[in-house]
Amino acid sequence: MRIIVGISGASGVVMGYEMLKALRMQEDCEIHLVITQGAIENFKYETDMEIKEVMKLADYCYDDKNMAASISSGSFRTDGMIVIPCSMKTVSAIANGYGANLLVRAADVCIKESRRVVLVPREMPLSRIHLDNLKKAADYGCILLPPMLTFYNHPTTVKEQVDHIVGKVLMQFGMEHKAFIPWEGK
């Protein structure tokens, strides 16, 4: 598989980091990473991680301003894209085709080429504008997977909640996450 991961400037950049780690554990998965400037700032505010360590988890990293990167073209084949976390600014740009940076352009390419795009929107409460943009993105084929809390798996840490979200995203691409605890039924 060849997956693009976009990490935008929403709170929750640790989810992007955990996604990269989970993708790294997948067999034959090539990871293309775009991190926005806002996300780089959030890594400083929300974590103790060095951005270079985050970037090492990807096979290819692109500057968000590099509109000539391979992932900006539909002729560069991928299996899709994950934007985690996805800021409302990024949702709006994707929903309205405003390719102002490489992350949004890569999502636009995936949409026009009918490739899977999974957005993990991070905002609350949601305004009517947010909801309109999310609906528009869904209407264009994006899969919306907000990071909702889950309790049936009896999580005791934030990490377990993040693992659940990462596992749900990977399921969209037919992949599994070892730390994901699925509902077993009764």
- 152 assigned binding-site residue: yes
Residue 78 annotated as binding site: no
Amino acid at site 160: E
Whole-angstrom distance, CA of residue 51 vs CA of residue 112: 31
User: Does the annotation place 156 within a ligand binding site?
Assistant: no
Residue 36, marked binder: yes
Q: Phi/psi zone of residue 105: left (φ > 0), alpha (ψ -120 to 50 degrees), beta?
A: alpha
Residue 52: CB partners within 8 Å, gap ≥ 6? none
Count how many residues are written for the chain.
Answer: 186
92 in a known ligand binding site: no
- For the chain, helix, strand, coil in percent to 5 are 40, 15, 45
136 is in an annotated binding site: no
Calpha distance 61→4 (Å, rounded): 10
Please tell me whether 89 is known to bind a ligand: yes
List all residues 6 or more positions away from 155 whose beta carbon is below 8 Å from its beta carbon.
161, 164
- Is 93 labeled as ligand-binding? no
186 is in an annotated binding site: no
User: Which structure tokens are listed for 152?
Assistant: 């049936």
- As annotated, the binding site for dimethylallyl phosphate includes 152, 168
Bind-site residues for FMN = 9-11, 36, 87-90, 122
Q: Residues annotated in the binding site, as ranges?
A: 9-11, 36, 87-90, 122, 152, 168
